[in-house]
Amino acid sequence: MTDSASAQATATEQRPGKRERLVAAATQLLHQHGVERTTLADIAQAADVPAGNVYYYFKTKGEVIAAVIEAHAQQVKAALALIDTHHRSPRSRLKAFVREFTAQGEIVAQYGCPLGSLCSELGKRARQASFAEAELMRLPIGWAEQQFRSLGRRDAHDLALDLLAAYEGSALLASTLRDPGLLARAGRRLNHWIDTL
């Protein structure tokens, strides 16, 4: 095999499939432009997939949104599993969780929290039977509750809700005021709060 043929084969092997590219493009566009302003044609163009091919993978925009929710859920699960693997104590895991969220300061200041923005926007739409977007918030809340419970806290669920509310509120302010420093300051306050528990 020639060098150019080898390089072309490697590039082809490494390029994600059309469905994966569509979901990745949809995830980015829904975050940057919102559900209502993003069309299937926009997603196809961003994914470098012919518009007609979208319907092979997704019949409706609702199916695309469901795939984006699932992609976010898998990302959250993977991030939490990584934190669990690399940190021994519940306190250090909670702090790593705060770092994970606050590290996105620039993008959050520009477009809002990827999870919070999507959940808020979908929450305003007509309710469907699945309520799948709520799972995006339940995942980190449930995980944080386990950490607080491991610290011996009887109010673990309330503390987990407080933690997510503090982050999401800070993310909303950072986005509204276009100030990524708000998330950094919130992260420092949350770390101090975790130390005092």
The CATH code of the domain that includes 87 is 1.10.357.10
Quote the distance between the C-alpha of residue 124 and its chain's center.
19
Residue 117 CA neighbour count, 13 Å, CB half? 25
Residue 49 belongs to domain spanning = 17-59
- 3 in a domain, yes or no? no
Computed from CA positions of residues 51, 58, 80, 34, in that sequence, does the dihedral angle turn out positive or negative?
Answer: positive
| Position 129 pLDDT exceeds 50 | no
User: Which residue is it, tokens 């386990």?
Assistant: 146
Q: Are residues 158 and 187 in the same domain?
A: yes
Residue 7 domain-assigned (yes or no):
no
Rounded CA-CA distance 18/173 in Å is 36
Q: Which are the contacts of 104, defined by CB distance < 8 A and separation ≥ 6? A: 113, 114, 183
pLDDT digits (tens, 9 = 90+) for 32-86: 999 999 999 999 999 999 999 999 999 999 999 999 999 999 999 999 999 999 9
Q: How confident is the model at residue 128 (pLDDT cuts 50, 70, 90)?
A: low
Contact in structure between 173 and 106 (CB atoms under 8 Å):
no
Whether 52 is covered by a domain: the verdict is: yes
Total structural domains in the chain?
Answer: 2
- Say if pTM beats, i.e. exceeds, 0.85: yes
